[in-house]
A and B are shown apart, each in its own frame.
Chain A
């Protein structure tokens, strides 16, 4: 049914198997759907919420040969087979009733298949696309990495377990929050679009980031009623959208804080990492005591052990004493790459705003913890 070089198969297959659950109640979801025509192999995996499709062009010039057929093959086993075969070896797939024979050099496998007609392909919504935008893959990846860590994990407010995309004219905003801190960024997109917003589930965002290329290349994002699709050329990801209304994020991003100061990012990160060793295991508090040109960081754990760090900083405002969840600070500092970060504070009960030089778009807001 198919003759193909093992190297051509591995990466496209890997890009769809990321969403295959290890233990799923529906056995067929451990398999990948293989749809073959003489010119093309399409592999599809789904967990019923998200579906990823990856296609390989087949041409006799590259040594591939195929006849039209479809079947499903176990995802993990195929990945393991491809990984352990010698580089560049040619593989022959031969389908019979319920099995597929694979021959590669002197190696033979005989795999059980499940019927392709039973494979639960996600129905793509009739194309009443409400939004269609195009962005550079590289930019989208960078922007997603800047904000994705602020998504909630298993919140009852399910709309927080995802990432908001808000489109307006030639601008796209990306926002994630777990209710205690929020990460925001935006970027320019081609064309002029009607306003619209949608929430992508957490798992889809994580998969998408894996699929995005650092190299050049565009990605087309389309939104229909309850789905969004991400088209990367050879790969296509479809996901159900998270229902619900995302909180009004503009309202919580402070605009007029006056206590501004810059801190060397790496230095602050290292200091916090050390202090975190003795932060209370459960609520992870760290105190920031700001005085004239000095920042003192202090952590205490349940055993009353203490860690303290001092940093000279460029701070000329009134003294302040404010507490934060140290994890929220470590998150933003490890996910930004600039030399310095800018902090801005209101009073002890209001949030801190963290921004970075040379990137107007990025904003991170974190609420204090009363310590």
Chain B
């Protein structure tokens, strides 16, 4: 057996490197984070062969003093914390003093740095962690870190590197995260001397558009909220355009990208009411929180955090998102009150710009209201010669975002016309949502009223249903049911929720009992409660093939406009779709 020995530093560093720099993208991340910590406002990345050959990060930050250069790449050397108390109050991205030494251990590293007050920079070169030289050199103010030939001395790791394309994709993803987290900083990114990104100093919204423009093309909802010691901002996707994977999810805690269970769950919950089953929301959310309230020292790659008050954070996120998602269609499509005021004050030619921003960022109705293709001959407002005198009035105002009903097709869809063109509404899906929101509202205020039945109904129940019914008398009562058990095995329905008085009472009760039993027989949580209401709402919604009159259709549209979350049914499917005049023109090749 061999003697026990302390490992030489070079080996220790190589082992540590395994954790910190698992691939070129991880090295890039560390270098970028150091640049951010140094207070840079302009950061340039240039990599070759997906980072396998060179990763160069150049910043204009505070720089490293000549005498500290070799310290910077040695193990456990950091300028960011001093004591263990500091660990509870971390305001920088780095704090372990591990990154540069790990990188140095597995690459040919050079660090060039120049402080403002120095006339020229100094360059440190190291190979596999062994410093060869610190020599003067010409340089901008700031630091340039150049990582060459990563894993040149650890062939085992080198074998695991993937193609340049794959490694590049990972590097780019890291770059995007960092760029999203700091909209005020300018970034550029070159691969094999080709410029891929050039991002100027801007604000969060612009940065999101630059980086995720195509993702959020059909609409994002801005969010913004704060409490005493936390602030949340960013943008989330409208539920209709959710994604099939979790890729487009960016959450930052104090500027640090994290994947956190509490956060993910909180967001999921906010969407649960509006998102189609297995779809995933997309978001860029940045949470600024008192550093004392979050522990970042829980994961080697620092992508996990621990909140000291996870429930408060959870609630804050859920509530903020729920509120944003619940904004009724009306509110989404109309300029906010303040903007309306502006419109009135400003000359009219400006009014379009005044509200465009809102329309652009909101939902699918993102088309300019007053802009129409001039080449297309079409009766316009103010031009009262129309081809057909009997044709309905041309809709010229935005008063009814969902338009005026024209017809019903297939017994399922309502067609309506609004200023942008044609709207198609799935009447069952929409109505289901309206009933659901009614039920929720009632159950949150003075309770769901119960309509007593004159002609009672009864059905033969299964043992399980009998059990659920007798164990949940109170819950059922609060839901508006009046039910008694008639031995040996019948359930008698004496009352139903007044909202659902015209539904099939027996099926309604059976589904409600089944829903309760599916989720455990006792103790109804509020989440479960909503599931129940949602199940019940299906019974209250208009059935397909029911013919609606035009006034009935319009009433439905008007209610949708003021009902929260009316853009999606209870299961997250969209309730309506806009086909713009422009899209129609395309179909008929007008104006081409």
Contacts and interface: CB of A to CB of B under 8 A. Distances in A.
The answer to whether A binds B is: yes
Interface of A: 154-156, 160, 177, 179-182, 247, 252, 282-285, 300, 302, 304, 323, 325, 349, 351, 365-371
Shortest Cβ-Cβ A-B pairs, 5 listed = A283-B498, A367-B452, A370-B450, A179-B455, A247-B455
A306 B452 CA distance: 23
Contact of A283 (B451, B482, B495, B546): B451
Contacts of B582: none
Contact of B450 (A155, A179, A351, A369): A369
A370 B454 contact: no
A87 to B, nearest CB: 28
Interface in B157-192: none
Contacts of B454: 177, 179-182, 252, 351, 365-367
A300 B501 CA distance: 19
A180 B451 contact: yes
A40 B90 CA distance: 102
A182 B546 CA distance: 25
Q: Is the interface of A mostly helix, strand, loop or mixed?
A: loop
25 contacts: A154-B502, A154-B546, A177-B454, A179-B453, A180-B451, A180-B454, A181-B454, A182-B454, A247-B455, A252-B454, A283-B442, A283-B449, A283-B451, A283-B498, A283-B501, A284-B498, A325-B501, A349-B452, A366-B454, A367-B453, A367-B454, A368-B452, A370-B449, A370-B480, A371-B449
A223 B498 CA distance: 37
Interface string B487-521: 00000000100110110100000000000000000
B586 interface: no
Interface in B392-448: 438, 441-442, 445-446
B337 to A, nearest CB: 19
A283 B446 CA distance: 13
A49 B241 CA distance: 47
Contact of B498 (A160, A177, A179, A325): A325
Given A351-B452, A351-B454, A367-B452, 19 more contacts: A154-B546, A160-B455, A179-B454, A180-B454, A180-B501, A181-B454, A247-B455, A282-B499, A285-B449, A285-B498, A300-B446, A325-B498, A349-B452, A365-B454, A366-B454, A369-B450, A370-B450, A370-B451, A370-B452
Most chain A beta-carbon neighbours within 10 Å: one of B441, B446, B449: B449
A369 B498 contact: yes
Contacts of A160: 455
A302 B449 contact: no
A27 B155 CA distance: 82
Nearest to A160: B455
A285 B498 CA distance: 9
B441 A302 contact: yes
Nearest to B452: A367
A366 B501 CA distance: 14
Contacts of A302: 438, 441-442
Interface string B447-473: 001111111000000000000000000
Contacts of A180: 451-454, 501
A160 B258 CA distance: 60
Among B438, B451, B452, B455, find the residue whose CB has the most chain A CB atoms closer than 10 A: B455
Contacts of A367: 451-454
Contacts of B442: 283, 302
A247 B458 CA distance: 13
Contacts of B495: 370
Nearest to A302: B441
Given A155-B502, A325-B498, A369 B453 contact: no
- Residue among B450, B452, B454, B482 having the largest count of chain A Cβ atoms under 10 Å: B454
Nearest to A349: B452
B475 to A, nearest CB: 15
B499 A369 contact: no
Contacts of A304: 445
Nearest to A156: B504
A182 B438 CA distance: 27
Contacts of B450: 369-370
Among A247, A300, A302, A370, residue most surrounded by chain B Cβ atoms (within 10 Å): A370
Contacts of B449: 283, 285, 323, 369-371
Contacts of B441: 302
Interface in B546-569: 546
Contacts of A282: 438, 498-499
A110 to B, nearest CB: 24
Contacts of B502: 154-155
A300 B498 CA distance: 14
A54 B546 CA distance: 31
Nearest to A23: B547
Contacts of B498: 282-285, 325, 369
A349 B482 CA distance: 11
Given A154-B546, A155-B502, A369-B498, A325 B451 contact: yes
Contacts of A300: 446
A211 B583 CA distance: 51
Interface string B534-554: 000000000000100000000
A22 B480 CA distance: 40
Contacts of A351: 452, 454
B5 to A, nearest CB: 78
B14 to A, nearest CB: 68
A349 B499 CA distance: 18
A54 B71 CA distance: 109
Contacts of B482: 370
Contacts of A247: 455
A182 B454 CA distance: 8
A366 B455 CA distance: 11
Contacts of A179: 453-455
B561 to A, nearest CB: 14
B554 to A, nearest CB: 14
A369 B455 contact: no
